Amino acid sequence: MKYETDVVVLGGGGGGMAAAKAADKNGANVILIEREEENGGVLNQCIHNGFGIHYYRKDLTGPEFKETLQEELEHTNVKVLNSAFVLDVNKDKQLTFVNHKGIHEIKTKALVMATGARERHFNSLAVPGDRVAGIFTAGVAQKYINLQNLKPANSALIVGSGDIGLIMARRLHLEGIEVKGVVEILPYPGGLERNVQQCLRDYNIPLYLSHTVTRVEGNKRLGKVYVSQVDENRQIIPNTEKIFNVDSLVTSVGLIPLTDPIKFVETAPGFITSNTNQTSEDWIFAAGNCTVVFDLVDYVSREGEKAGKYAALYAQNQYFPEQKVKVIKGKNINVLHPMYIDPNERTKLYLRVSKTFKRAEVTVEPLGIKMVEEEARPSEMIEISMKPFKDKNLKEIEVSARELG
Amino acid sequence: MIAVIGSGIVGSLIAREINKYIEDVFIFEARNGIGTGVTKGNSGIIHGGYDDTPGSLRAELCYKGNKLYDEISQELSVEVKRVGSHVVALNEEELKAIDELEERAIQNGVQEYEILDKTELLEMEPNLNSDALKSFYCPIAGVTEPWEVAMQASRSLEINGGKVLKNKKLVEVKKKDNKFELLFEDGSSYIADLVINVAGLYADEVAKFFGDEVPYIFPVKGEYYLLGKNIKYANSVIFPTPSKLTKGCLVVPTVDGGFLAGPTAHGVKSKQDFSTTQEGLLEVREKSLRLVPTLDFSRNVVKAFAGLRPETREKDFHIDVGEGNVIHVSGIRSPGLTAAPAIARYVVEYLIQEKLHINLQKRENYLTHIEKVPHLVERDYDYWGRVIQEDPEAGEMICYCNKITKKEIKEAIKSGARTLDDVKFATRASFGECQGSFCTPKILKIISEETGLKPEEVLQNEEGSWIINSEVRMI
């Protein structure tokens, strides 16, 4: 079959659904393509709460957040194609996708990439030891337990204290799996403070900061995990080894933006975009975890909405950015998004600092923006709202952070 | 009946070669997968044959084997990429090794080589260490996927009337007249007229069941890194200059576009020790970075793994008849993969026919060529579209990284796949960059639905490698 539309949104998670909704609202014909049978992406398996506090001003579970968005989507004219896998996107604004009916083409005017991220796999850490069953990413463990009613462990150690790792520690514990601890290589937890409290401290699950897994051992199935302390340069401190007898290792060691199948757009490693979510290819917009990894689905949906809006305007020849101001990563900034700003438009700037600060001052120069953040940590995104600054005639701005004495 | 003990690349190619003459050939495999021992964990290189000790069986069979890979590739529909290889000299000292290689090449009758100067070399391989002075370039060297060759050879055997039996661990052999009774751990037994022992790491132990003595096999571990497809580190196989012990730590472009760095070579005690080590992986990083400084071990690693080589003190293949109608194919260390097709011919044409005086006639009904069903994603869209019309599951994507559909996974299960690794090696599903994070739970479910196994009974690979303990709660 051949389709023609104004905007295609690729990915039906929290970012994609919001993008489709917004593109529709802004007058575009929209097709949303999702590779799973159902929209929602990772929201479907996140049965814990904490979603939607900013976006809906309600504390929802993942499935509730998804249902709410899904309902909003059903009140639009967006055409949703599920179980559809995009094989190819070419520069002539044509997409090819496959589903159980065949192979199809879509001609579009604009595209929103909302393809999310994948989990970094334990294998890629190349930890020495036996190659055994029983090592899962947190997402896989979550899928087994929450969606398939399957228990993949009796006893577990969690590696990585990102939000997914923390939440899975609690989930496994509540399902009767003995969680012997959470191991984090950094000196501070990787996830939100509220999750450290609600998932670990509330259940007396130990958190081993500045620790790393040095070896995994087992006969066919995991049996032992060796853990050692590391110094500030992440070098293993001798004679600090602990051995955990567990049959499972659940890993939450980072997310990697997914940019497939597009190869011709600037990435680092996610899509580089402007504040209007435009990529280096002017008809392609991107939002959510396929750009940088966000702390909250709320941010992802908000970004998606923005991408959908500008994609719709672009498709209807109503958005032509005249100028792009480059955003430069200054001192102590680890993650910065977006990397370009259309100074005619408002900006939500997201950043992560590169180390822990007791009290950080974040500045945007030469715009003279100054923000003070108490206990700034790389694990928590800082958000700065910026007004349009067209009249300033700037080529670039620089964001940096410093400790306030 | 002719029995082949071991389904590695050498065993399955021997079985296939015999099967060209005799229909009744059985492969007995101790594990529950094809080619999952020595065959699974190695560099996958088809060597040029220039550097094996002149006069050794290795040298004789390596060059021949290299040549036979064109035929193997065509007949078994397996991918062989003749990407060529460079042995790179980085200093004056190492230049001598290049001269020695040339000498050996001449003695081994290998003509396909060139000595390249720095400019030519760096033109071909711009990511090499810029200290490189010269290379010994061999254009006929290449890469393949060894387990795929083994799997296709086994399939060819089955198509031509032979049998492949898994989970058949040999525990005893009884001599009966001129025949052997083979007894297996599961209680089954078979009578064989002729036995070929190709038991890899265990060939010396298997030889003892027949009352024969072959050189003692000790395992030598090789550790590797597999790096992702998104960075192109090298166009061909990059070797350092060889030592007496090994061909060294290499950088190898794999058939499907990734890169291997490795292997190490350290003796280990156990034939079951496939673990990676801190020291080994560090050694791989250091040595391979010396050749290709751009290798990105911090962000581009897919996984690390180890394989074992069946090494002997003699350092040569030991392929000979034992007491009675048994042939021991042992000590198949590097370049065993390259030599494998030539070993198969050597066994049939020389050992069976000449040494054992068994007269063989080629079968008339033998099907030489077998298709490899290409993945749907490799076919043109028109074809794929037609397949979907007949079977909608051909349009249902399960493995997102390698783009494998539900139909293909079900077909693998129909052909005998029972474990996650069976499906992985048969289809490439979960082999990609996400390492199964998206598709493993789905594949587990499909295996369970198709075979009637409970999720608790679906294994990663061997007995004991369970995935699911139980249901979370009764529904």
Which of A200, A225, A249 represents a domain boundary (last residue)?
Answer: A249
On whether both A275 and A329 belong to a single domain, the answer is no
pLDDT cut 70: percent of chain A above it = 100
Are B153 and B118 in the same domain?
no
User: pLDDT value at position B433?
Assistant: 86
Average pLDDT estimate for B277-287: 96
**Region A14-36 average pLDDT:** 98
> A27 to each of A79, A113, A307, A346, B38, how far by Cα in Å?
14, 19, 14, 21, 61
B186 belongs to a structural domain: yes
Tally the domains of chain B.
3
| Rounded Cα–Cα distance for residues B367 and B57 (Å) | 30
Query: What pLDDT digit, counting tens, does each position of A179-198 carry?
Result: 999 999 999 998 888 899 99
Q: Are residues A206 and A229 in the same domain?
A: yes
Per-residue CA distances from A376 to A185, A200, A330, B118 (Å): 18, 21, 16, 52
| Whole-number pLDDT of residue A379 | 86
Report if residue B283 sits inside a domain.
Answer: yes
Mean pLDDT for the stretch of residues B8-29: 98
- Which of A98, A127, A173 is the best substitution to test chain B (most B C-beta atoms within 10 A)? A98
Please report residues of B whose CB lies closer than 8 A to that of A36.
none
pLDDT-based confidence at residue B374 (cuts at 50, 70, 90): confident
Instruction: Find, among B352, B367, B326, the residue nearest to B157 by Cα.
Output: B367
State the pTM of this model.
0.92
B468 inside 8 A of chain A by CB: yes
For residue B277, the domain's CATH number is: 3.30.9.10
- Give the pLDDT band (50/70/90) at residue A288: very high
Find the residue in B nearest to A117 (Cα).
B434
Let me know whether B238 and B365 are in one domain.
no
What is residue A152's predicted lDDT score, i.e. its pLDDT? 97
The catalytic residue among B47, B86, B318, B328 is: B47
Interface with A, mutate which of B388, B398, B467, B474 (most A CBs under 10 A): B467
Residue B248: pLDDT band (50, 70, 90) is confident
Domains in chain A, number: 3
Q: Are B48 and B196 in a shared domain? A: yes
Q: What is the CATH number of the domain that holds B36?
A: 3.50.50.60
**Do A208 and A149 fall within a single domain?**
yes
Instruction: Identify the closest residue of chain B to A133 by CA–CA distance.
Output: B465
Q: What is the pLDDT of residue B464?
A: 95
B200 and B330 both lie in a single domain: yes
Q: Please indicate, yes or no, if residue B37 is contained in any of the structural domains.
A: yes
What does the pLDDT read at residue B84?
98
Are residues B418 and B393 part of one domain?
yes
Q: Which residues of A323-352 are buried (b: 16+ CB within 10 A; e: fewer)?
A: ebbebeebebbebbbbbbbbbebebebbbb
- DSSP, collapsed to helix, strand or coil, labels residue B427 as helix
Give the pLDDT mean for A255-264: 95
Same domain, residue pair A93 and A153: no
Rounded to the nearest angstrom, the gap between the alpha carbon of residue B448 and the centroid of all alpha carbons in its chain is 28
Q: Are residues A88 and A169 in the same domain?
A: no
Segment 254-283 of chain B within 8 Å of chain A by CB:
274-278, 280-281
Asked if residue A124 and residue A245 are part of one domain, the reply reads yes
**Whether residue A187 has a cis bond before it, omega within 30° of 0:** no
Instruction: Compute φ and ψ for B473, nearest 5 degrees.
Output: -150, 160
What SS3 class is residue A289?
helix
Could you tell me if A287 and A330 lie in one domain?
no
Radius of gyration over every alpha carbon of chain B, rounded to an integer in angstroms:
23
Q: Does residue B267 carry a pLDDT above 80?
A: yes
Q: Is residue B474 part of a domain?
A: no
B-chain residues within 8 Å CB-CB of A148?
441, 445, 455
Its domain, for residue A380, covers 322-404
Burial of A49 (0-12, 13-18, 19+ CB in 10 A): middle
Residues 203..242 of B with a Cβ closer than 8 Å to A: which? 225
For residues B61 and B343, is the Cβ–Cβ distance under 8 A?
A: yes
Q: From CA B93, how far away is CA B136, in angstroms rounded?
A: 15
Return the residue of B nearest to A102 by Cα: B385
Tell me, yes or no, whether B191 lies in a domain: yes
Judgement on whether residues B68 and B1 belong to the same structural domain of the protein: yes
Please check whether residue B9 lies inside any domain of the structure.
yes
Of the three residues B290, B309, B328, the one that is the final residue of a domain is B309
The minimal CB distance from B225 to the residues A102, A118, A126 is found for: A126
In B160-277, which residue ranges form alpha helices assigned H by DSSP?
203-209
Q: Where are the alpha helices (DSSP H) in A201-258?
A: none
Q: Note whether B154 and B59 are same-domain residues.
A: yes
Give the pLDDT band (50/70/90) at residue B239.
Answer: very high
Report pLDDT digits (tens) over A115-166: 999 999 999 999 999 999 999 999 999 999 999 999 999 999 999 999 899 9
> Which neighbouring-strand residues pair with B427?
none
pLDDT at A101: 97
Domain of residue B250 covers 84-138+217-309
Residue A169 sits in a domain whose CATH number is 3.50.50.60
- In chain A, what residues touch B297 (CB-CB under 8 Å)? 126
CA distance B378 to B429: 14
Assess whether A114 and A171 both reside in one domain.
no
Q: Is B173 helix (H, G, I), strand (E, B) or coil?
A: strand
**Active site annotation includes B357:** no
The reply to whether B157 and B25 lie within a common domain is yes
What digits encode the pLDDT tens for the residues A197-246?
A: 999 999 999 999 999 999 999 999 999 999 999 999 999 999 999 999 99
What is the reported pLDDT for B372?
83
Instruction: Indicate whether B29 and B97 sit together in one domain.
Output: no
pLDDT at residue A392, rounded to an integer: 84
Q: Say if residue B202 is in the same domain as residue B345.
A: yes
| C-alpha dist (Å) from residue A340 to A120, A228, A278, B84 | 27, 42, 9, 44
Interface-testing mutation among B226, B390, B438, with chain A (most A C-beta atoms within 10 A): B438
Instruction: Assess whether B69 and B200 both reside in one domain.
Output: yes
Q: Does one domain contain both A308 and A342?
A: no
Looking at residue A393, its pLDDT comes to: 87
Asked if residue B167 and residue B299 are part of one domain, the reply reads no
Domain boundary among A319, A345, A360: A319
What is the pLDDT averaged over residues B334-342? 97
Interface A–B counts its CB contacts (< 8 A) at: 134
pLDDT of residue B475: 76
B436 SS3 class: coil
Q: Is residue B69 part of a domain?
A: yes
- In angstroms, the separation between the Cα of residue A256 and the nearest Cα of chain B is 10
Residue A267 has pLDDT above 90, yes or no: yes
Same structural domain, A87 and A201? no
As for the ipTM of the complex, it is 0.95
Do the domain assignments include residue B464?
A: no
**Which of the four pLDDT bands, split at 50, 70 and 90, describes residue A1?**
confident
Q: Please report the pLDDT score of residue B119 as a whole number.
A: 97
pLDDT at B246 over 80: no
Domain boundary (B309, B335, B353) is at B309
Confidence of residue A405 (pLDDT cuts 50, 70, 90): confident
- The secondary element (H helix, E strand) that includes residue A163 is helix A163-174
The C-alpha angle B45, B51, B54, rounded to 5 degrees, equals: 130
Q: Indicate whether A261 and A113 sit together in one domain.
A: yes
Of A249, A284, A299, the one marking the end of a domain is A249
pLDDT at B390: 97
Cα B92 to chain centroid, rounded: 35
Confidence of residue A292 (pLDDT cuts 50, 70, 90): very high
In this structure, are residues B154 and B143 in contact, taking their beta carbons and an 8 Å threshold? no
Any alpha helices (H) in B326-427, and if so which ranges? 336-345, 381-390, 406-414, 420-427
Strands B80-81 and B142-144: antiparallel
Residue B244 above 90 pLDDT? no
User: Is the same domain home to A284 and A330?
Assistant: no
**pLDDT band at A293, cuts 50/70/90?**
very high
Q: What is the CATH number of the domain that holds A353?
A: 2.60.40
| CB spacing of B274 vs A175 below 8 angstroms | no
Q: Which of residues 91-150 of B touch A (CB under 8 A)?
A: none
pLDDT score at B388: 98
